[in-house]
C-alpha cells in the first residue's frame, strides 16, 4: 500500500488576539530587488529579505544563473552577479513563482539576451505577460515565444522609448524600469503602477547609480546609465502581511500592536477598518488596532495602489462573513480570485458569488471544517475565517502559506491563537 503525507494547519475555535507582532520584509519588494542585483557589475547586500518559499525560489533562480549567493549571520543576503553569463533560466525554477519573470528585464539589459520560461505562480486569473513583452519590444528587443519559453535578444543595447502600459501592471512596470536602467537614452513609462514595492526598487537602482524619476507616480522617467554598482540596501516592511494581521485583529475582536509597519502604505485599509468600528492609532512604525465590539460589515472594491489591495480581498471577505450586515466585495484586478469564497461557504458562510462580486449576508456563524488553500492570500483569508469559526478548522495546501507568510503559526500563537501544523499520513489504496 502506498503512503502519502499531507500537511495541515489546525486552528481551534476563536480567541480574541492580543499582544505584539513584528512584520517581516516585503516579499513583493524583495523579488524585483533580488532580480535587480543582476544589473550591477559588483555584489549587493540586502537586508530584511523575508525567509519565504518565494524569496528562496528567487535566490535559487539567480544561483542557477551562476550568481554567488551568501546568507550572513545577521540574515542579510549577498548576491554576487560577477560570474553570471546570462544563461537560459531553468523551467523547473521558473515555474515556482511568477516573480521569476522579473529576471527577463535585467538579463536582457545586461547581457543583450535572455531565455525565460513563462512564469508559474498563483492561480488567480489568466495573468498574461504581454505588457512586459510589448514594452521590451518598444525598446528594441527581438522577442519570440516558443515551447513556453520567451527568447529575447537585442542588437547592442536596449534603446530608451516612450511606453504607455495598457494596464498598470506591477511586475510589468518593474521589468521595464530594470531594462531601461541600462538602456541607451531616456525611457518614459506612462500609466505605470505606483505600488510602494516599485518605489523601493527604484530607490535601490538609484542608490546603485541609476537615474529614475517619478517612482510612485503614474509617469516614470528613466535615464539609462553605462553601468550600476552593487550596494547595501534595506527592503521595506510587508504591507500585505501587516494588513493581514490588522484584519485578523478585527475579525477576532482583538487588541494588538503591529511593529515594523509603514502605515502610509495601508491608508485605504486603515480607513475601511475604521468604518468597521476598529480603533486604530499609529505611532511612527507601530500601529495599534482594537476592535471593541462586533465589526460592522463594509463593502470594498479592489484597485491598484493606493486603492484597496487585491492581496487583502480574501481576508476582508472573511471579515465580512462574520460582521454585522450585508456587504459586497468587488474584485477588479484579477478575474479568478474567489476560490476562498467557496471554502467560506463550506464553513457555513451565506455568500452569493456573481462574476467579480461576492455579496455577504453577514452575521454568519462559521463552523470549522476541512478547507483547501488555493493561493497565498486565499490561505490567509482561510486562516482568518478559522480564527473566527466555532470548532476546529483544518487547512491543507500549506505551501501557499509558506510562499507568503513568515513564522505564521508562531506569530498567531504569540497573539493567543491555537494554531498547529500537523503532518498526516494517508494510505492510498490502489484501484485495479
Ligand atoms: N496584466 C495583463 N498583461 C500583463 C500583465 C498583467 O493583462 O502583461 C493584467 C493581469 O492579468 C491582471 C492585472 O494586469 O489582471 C494586474 O496584474 P499585475 O501585472 O499588476 O500583477 P503581477 O505584477 O503579476 C503583482 C504581485 C501580486 C499582486 C498584483 C496586483 C508580485 C510578485 N506579485 O502581480 O501579488 O496581487 O501585483 O497588486 O509583485 C501575492 O503577493 O500574493 C500576489 C499575487
Top mutation candidate among 165, 172, 268, 310 for ligand 1, by most atoms within 8 Å of CB: 172
When pLDDT is averaged across residues 33-37 and rounded to a whole number, the result is 98
**Mean pLDDT value of segment 29-56:** 97
Enumerate the β-bridge partners of residue 279: 290
Q: Scanning the structure block, which residue is given the C-alpha cell 514595492?
A: 197
CA–CA dist 414, 232 (Å, integer): 32
Q: Does the pLDDT of residue 76 top 70, yes or no?
A: yes
pLDDT, tens only, 157-202 = 999 999 999 999 999 999 999 999 999 999 999 999 999 999 999 9
C-alpha cell at 226: 553605462
Q: Is pLDDT of 203 > 60?
A: yes
The three cell numbers of residue 183 are 538602456
Mean pLDDT of 223-237: 98
Residue 427, pLDDT > 80, answer no
Q: How far is the CA of 171 from the centre of ligand 1 (A)?
A: 6
The Å distance, Cα 170 to ligand 1 centre, comes to 6
Residue partners of 384: CB distance under 8 A and separation at least 6: 244, 247, 248, 251, 315, 318, 319
pLDDT band with cut points at 50, 70 and 90 for residue 336: confident
Contact between 19 and 415 (Cβ < 8 Å): yes
Q: Which residue from 386, 358, 357, 359 is spatially nearest to 371, judged by alpha carbons?
A: 386
Q: Report the candidate in 285, 316, 278, 268 with the shortest Cα–Cα distance to residue 22.
A: 285
pLDDT of 389 strictly over 80 = yes
> pLDDT per residue over 353-388, tens digit each?
999 999 999 999 999 999 999 999 999 999 999 999
The reported pLDDT for the residue numbered 1 is 62
pLDDT attached to residue 432: 43
- Index of the ligand 1 atom closest to the CA of residue 304: 38
What's the mean per-residue pLDDT of the chain? Answer: 95
Whether the Cβ atoms of residue 42 and residue 229 lie closer than 8 Å to each other: yes
Inter-CA distances, 131 with 134, 137, 138, 189, 222, Å: 5, 10, 11, 12, 18
Strand partners, 69: 79
Enumerate the active-site residues. 122
- Quote the CA–CA distance of 4 and 426 in Å, as a whole number: 5
User: At CB < 8 A and 24+ separation, what contacts does 139-143 make?
Assistant: 139/163, 139/176, 139/179, 139/180, 139/183, 139/187, 141/108, 141/179
Q: Is the pLDDT reported for residue 112 higher than 50?
A: yes
For residue 211, how far is its CA from the centre of ligand 1 (angstroms)?
25
* Pairwise CA distance, residues 227 & 185, whole Å: 13
**How far apart (Å, rounded) are the C-alpha atoms in residues 426 and 412?**
28
Q: How far apart are CA 127 and CA 288, in angstroms?
A: 36
Whether pLDDT at 149 is above 50: yes
Whether the pLDDT of residue 431 is over 80: the answer is: no
* Mutation pick for ligand 1 pocket among 169, 310, 332 (CB with most ligand atoms within 8 Å): 169
Tell me the pLDDT tens digit for each residue of 296-326.
999 999 999 999 999 999 999 999 999 999 9
Q: How confident is the model at residue 6 (pLDDT cuts 50, 70, 90)?
A: confident
Q: How far is the CA of 127 from the centre of ligand 1 (A)?
A: 7
At 85-99, the pLDDT tens digits run 888 898 988 888 889
User: Of all atoms in ligand 1, which is nearest to the CA of residue 98?
Assistant: 32
**Confidence band of 425 (pLDDT split at 50, 70, 90):** confident
Which residues have C-beta atoms less than 6 Å from ligand 1? 28, 31, 98-99, 122, 125-132, 167, 169-172, 193, 310-311, 333-334, 376-377, 404
Amino acid at each position: 500500500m502506498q503512503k502519502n503525507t499531507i500537511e495541515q494547519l489546525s486552528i481551534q475555535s476563536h480567541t480574541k488576539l492580543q499582544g505584539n507582532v513584528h512584520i517581516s520584509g516585503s516579499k513583493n519588494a524583495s523579488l524585483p530587488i533580488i532580480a535587480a542585483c543582476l544589473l550591477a557589475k559588483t555584489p549587493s547586500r540586502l537586508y530584511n529579505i523575508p525567509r519565504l518559499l518565494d524569496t528562496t525560489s528567487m535566490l535559487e533562480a539567480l544561483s542557477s544563473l551562476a550568481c554567488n549567493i551568501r546568507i550572513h549571520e545577521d540574515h542579510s543576503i549577498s548576491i554576487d552577479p560577477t560570474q553570471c553569463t546570462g544563461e537560459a533560466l531553468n523551467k523547473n525554477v521558473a515555474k515556482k513563482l511568477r516573480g521569476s519573470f522579473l529576471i527577463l528585464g535585467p538579463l536582457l539589459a545586461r547581457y543583450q539576451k535572455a531565455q525565460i520560461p513563462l512564469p508559474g505562480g498563483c492561480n488567480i486569473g489568466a495573468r498574461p505577460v504581454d505588457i512586459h513583452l510589448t514594452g521590451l519590444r518598444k525598446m528594441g528587443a527581438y522577442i519570440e515565444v516558443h515551447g513556453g519559453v520567451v527568447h529575447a535578444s537585442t542588437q547592442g543595447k536596449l534603446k530608451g522609448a516612450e511606453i504607455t502600459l495598457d494596464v498598470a501592471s506591477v511586475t510589468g512596470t518593474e521589468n521595464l524600469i530594470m531594462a531601461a536602467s541600462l538602456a541607451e537614452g531616456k525611457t518614459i513609462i506612462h500609466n505605470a503602477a505606483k505600488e510602494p514595492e516599485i518605489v523601493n526598487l527604484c530607490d535601490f537602482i538609484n542608490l546603485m547609480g541609476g537615474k529614475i524619476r517619478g517612482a510612485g507616480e503614474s509617469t516614470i522617467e528613466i535615464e539609462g546609465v553605462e553601468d550600476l554598482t552593487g550596494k547595501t540596501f534595506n527592503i521595506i516592511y510587508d504591507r500585505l502581511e501587516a494588513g493581514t494581521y490588522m484584519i485578523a485583529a478585527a475579525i477576532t475582536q482583538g487588541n494588538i500592536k503591529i511593529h515594523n509597519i509603514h502605515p502610509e502604505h495601508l491608508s485605504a485599509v486603515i480607513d475601511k477598518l475604521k468604518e468597521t468600528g476598529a480603533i486604530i492609532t499609529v505611532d511612527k512604525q507601530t500601529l495599534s488596532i482594537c476592535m471593541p465590539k462586533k465589526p460592522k460589515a463594509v463593502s470594498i472594491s479592489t484597485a491598484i495602489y493606493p486603492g484597496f489591495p487585491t492581496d487583502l480581498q480574501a481576508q476582508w471577505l472573511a471579515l465580512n462573513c462574520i460582521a454585522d450586515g450585508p456587504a459586497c466585495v468587488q474584485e477588479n484586478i484579477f478575474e479568478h480570485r474567489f476560490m476562498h469564497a467557496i471554502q467560506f461557504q463550506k464553513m457555513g458562510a451565506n455568500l452569493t458569488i456573481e462574476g467579480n462580486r461576492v455579496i455577504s449576508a453577514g452575521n454568519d456563524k462559521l463552523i470549522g471544517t476541512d478547507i483547501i488553500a488555493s493561493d497565498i492570500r486565499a490561505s490567509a483569508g482561510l486562516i482568518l475565517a478559522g480564527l473566527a469559526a466555532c470548532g476546529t478548522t483544518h487547512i491543507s495546501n500549506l505551501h501557499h502559506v509558506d510562499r507568503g507568510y513568515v513564522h505564521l503559526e508562531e506569530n498567531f500563537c504569540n497573539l493567543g491563537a491555537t494554531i498547529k501544523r500537523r503532518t498526516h499520513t494517508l494510505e492510498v489504496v490502489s484501484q485495479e
